[in-house]
Chains A and B, each alone.
Chain A
Amino acid sequence: MDVTTLTAHRCRELLAAGEVSAVELTRAYLDRIAATDGAVQAYLAVDAAGAVAAAAAVDAKPRGERLPWEGVPIGLKDVLCVKGMETTCGSRILKGYIPPYDATVIAKLRDAGLIFLGKLNMDEFAMGSSTENSAFQTTRNPWDLDRVPGGSSGGSAACVAASEAPWALGTDTGGSIRQPASLCGVVGLKPTYGAVSRYGLVAFASSLDQIGSLTRDVRDAAALLDLIAGRDPRDSTSIGLPEPVGEPGRTSLEGLRFGVIGELIGDACEPGVREVFDSAVDAIGTLGGVCEEVSLPSVERGIAAYYLIAPSEASSNLARFDGVRYGHRTAESEDLYEMYVRTRSEGFGAEVKRRIMIGTYALSAGYYDAYYAQAQRTRTLIIQDFARAFAAFDFLISPTSPSVAFKIGERTADPLSMYLSDLCTIPVNLAALPGISIPAGFSAGLPVGLQIIGPHFSERGMLGAAHALEHHLRVNVMPPLAAPEAAR
C-alpha cells in the first residue's frame, strides 16, 4: 500500500491501528517529495530532520496515550510563522527570516501532534492567482506540468494533488485557497472571516485574509477546521465557530435550497467549465436539493472593489518591510530614507510593487473618497446582496474559477487579465463568508471545481452539503503523476 495516496483520516486510522508508525508515514511522504517535487516544485523548504524527529517522538509514546491526530504529517503555506523555520512569503525581502514564535494555527497543530513536512510555495505575499509571482520558483500543476497550479496557495494545492502531503494549510484573501484547489482538483476551504485566528499570518489585506485548508476530501477539511478554529486573544477579529463542525455525514440534499449566482455563470465562464457546473446542478437535484438562479448584481463590481481595498490594506501592511527589524537590508546607503527605498525596491517583486503603488495612490490625498471609500460602499452593497440571497437560499453556488488551469506564462504580461480570474471567489471574501471548492469534474482532462458559499459561520451545514455532493460525484482526485506506479 502506498500511504501517500491516502486521506489524513486514513493516515490517522493506520497509525491508531499500529499498521504504520509515524516515522514510516513521515518517511513515505519525504520519499514521495524527493521523487516528485523536482517536477512539481511545491515545496520551498522541506524539514526532513525536524519531521522525522517529531515523528519519532510520537512513536515513543504508547498508542493509547496519543492525541487523535498525533503523527499525521501536514504541509504549510510559507506565509505562516513557524518558530525556528524560515518563513519567506515567497519574497526576497523576507529571505532568511526565522520567526521567533508560532502562528496560533501552528501552535494548535503542534499541540495536536501533527508533523510539519515543510513550507510551500506561493505568490509573493499571497498576491497572485498562479504562484508565478514567487521570487523563488514556479510551481507546476500535477495534472499538467506545463500549467499553473493557481494561486496564491499554489504550492499547498499542488502538494496535496501530487500526494506530497495528505493535507496542507493555505490562506485566502480573494480566492487563494479555492481557486488553486479548483485548478489542482482538490478540496479548498475558506472559513468565515474570524473563524480562525490570523495571529502569525503575515498580513496582506487584513479585512479579507483568512486561513483555511487544502485536502483530498471534505471530511479532512472538516477535521482540519476543527483543529485550527477558535477565538484568540492575540487576534481581536477572531470569533471562532459557534460549535465544532464535527463529522460531515450528510448524503442527501433533501430540503436544501441552492441559489445559482447568475452573474457568475455568464460569458466569462469557459464552456467546458460551464458544462461541468451544469452537471453539478443536476447532481444537486438528484440528491433532493432545489436549485434556482438568483441575481446578485453587485458581485460584478467585486473585482473593482477588491483591487482597491486589498492593495490599500497591503500598502499599509507592507510598510513594515523597511530593512530595520527583519529581512533584507540594502548593502549600501547614505541615510535612512535611501536605505528604505533601496531595501524595498530590491526586496519586492513586480506584482507586489504594483499593488503597493495602487494602494498608495488610492489612499493618497484627494483620491481617498473617490476610490477607497467608494470601494467600501460597494462592499456594503455586496454584503446586502448576499444577505438578500441567503434569505431565500441555504447556499449559493457558482464555478470556483471561470477557467481551468492556464499555461505557465500565459497571463503574466497582463496583470488585469490575471485579476479577472478571481471573479467568482472575490465577492465571498468581501462579504466575509465561508466558501468551499470541491472537485466537480474535468474539462479536457483538467479539473473543474464547484464553489459552495454559505452564510456567516455556516461551516457545519456547508461542509455537510459539500460532503453529500462529493459522495455522489465521486470525482477522481489522483492525477497520473500521483498514481503509486508513477512514483516508483
Chain B
Amino acid sequence: MISRQEVEHVAKLARLHFDEEELARLQPELGQIIDYVRQLAELDLSGLEPTSHAVPLKNVLRPDEPVAGLSQAEATSNGPDVERGQFVVPRIG
C-alpha cells in the first residue's frame, strides 16, 4: 500500500496537484499497481547486473563538424510567452 502522505509527497515531487476526489481514486489505484510490481522486490537477483542498455553498444566517434540547427525564432516559435527571443515565466518563488 501507499499512504495518503506518500501520495501527496510524490505529487509534489512530480509537480502535480490532485483534488480530494482524485486523491480518493488515485491512492488505491497506485496501491494496487505498487503491490503488483512489489513481486520483484522479493526476488533474489543479487548475482545480476542491472541492465543499462539492452543492445550491446560501443562508442562511435564522429568528426566534430558544426551544422546549422534551429534559429532562435524557430526554437521559440511554440513558447506560450516569448519576448525578444526569450521565454518569459512568472516570478520564481
Contacts and interface: CB of A to CB of B under 8 A. Distances in A.
A331 to B, nearest CB: 10
Given A193-B54, A207-B53, A301-B39, A361 B30 contact: yes
Interface stretch (A241-249, A334-342, A392-400, A443-451): A334-342
Contact size range, B: 35 or more
Interface in B46-93: 48-55, 57, 62, 70, 74-81, 87, 89-93
A100 B78 contact: yes
A303 B7 CA distance: 22
Given A100-B77, A371-B37, A377 B48 contact: yes
B interface majority secondary structure: loop
A353 interface: yes
A304 B34 CA distance: 9
B93 A335 contact: yes
Contacts of B62: 233
Contacts of A237: 53, 57
Residue among B11, B14, B36, B48 with max Cβ neighbours from chain A (10 Å): B14
B43 A326 contact: no
B82 to A, nearest CB: 9
Contact of B55 (A303, A373, A432): A432
Contacts, number: 163
Contact size range, A: 35 or more
Contacts of B36: 303-304, 307, 416
A381 to B, nearest CB: 6
A381 B54 CA distance: 11
A426 to B, nearest CB: 13
Nearest to A372: B50
B69 to A, nearest CB: 9
Contacts of B51: 376-377, 379-380, 383
Given A358-B33, A374-B40, A432 B50 contact: no
A319 B36 CA distance: 25
Contact of A373 (B33, B50, B91, B93): B50
Contact of A335 (B40, B50, B74, B90): B90
B16 A371 contact: no
A379 B51 CA distance: 6
B51 to A, nearest CB: 4
Contact of B14 (A207, A356, A375, A381): A356
Contact of B37 (A308, A328, A333, A379): A308
Interface string B24-36: 0010011011101
Contacts of A326: 78-80
Given A358-B33, A361-B10, A97 B78 contact: yes
Nearest to B82: A325
B24 to A, nearest CB: 13
A304 B14 contact: no
A155 to B, nearest CB: 23
Contacts of A96: 78
Contacts of A353: 16, 18, 26
Given A304-B37, A315-B14, A357 B52 contact: no
A419 B36 CA distance: 11
Interface in A334-356: 334-342, 344-345, 348, 353-354, 356
A374 to B, nearest CB: 5
A425 interface: no
A360 B10 contact: yes
A356 B78 contact: no
Contact of B33 (A335, A415, A430): A415
B16 to A, nearest CB: 5
A370 to B, nearest CB: 5
Interface in A194-224: 194, 207
Contact of A324 (B16, B26, B87): B87
A479 interface: no
B6 interface: yes
Contacts of A334: 90
A430 to B, nearest CB: 7
Contacts of B89: 324, 336, 339
Residue among B29, B43, B80 with max Cβ neighbours from chain A (10 Å): B80
A239 B35 CA distance: 37
B43 A378 contact: yes
Interface of A: 96-98, 100-101, 192-194, 207, 233, 237, 239, 301, 303-305, 307-308, 315, 319, 322-329, 333-342, 344-345, 348, 353-354, 356-358, 360-362, 364, 370-371, 373-381, 383, 415-416, 419, 430-432, 456
14 contacts: A96-B78, A101-B74, A194-B57, A304-B36, A307-B36, A323-B80, A324-B79, A324-B87, A329-B81, A336-B91, A357-B14, A371-B41, A374-B41, A415-B33
Interface of B: 2, 6-7, 10-11, 13-18, 26, 29-30, 32-34, 36-37, 39-41, 43, 45, 48-55, 57, 62, 70, 74-81, 87, 89-93
Question: Which A-B residue pairs are the 4 nearest by beta carbons?
Answer: A376-B50, A432-B54, A326-B78, A329-B80
Given A301-B43, A358-B34, A361-B6, 19 more contacts: A100-B74, A100-B77, A101-B70, A192-B55, A239-B57, A304-B39, A325-B78, A325-B79, A325-B87, A327-B78, A336-B90, A344-B15, A353-B16, A353-B26, A356-B14, A373-B50, A375-B40, A379-B51, A415-B29
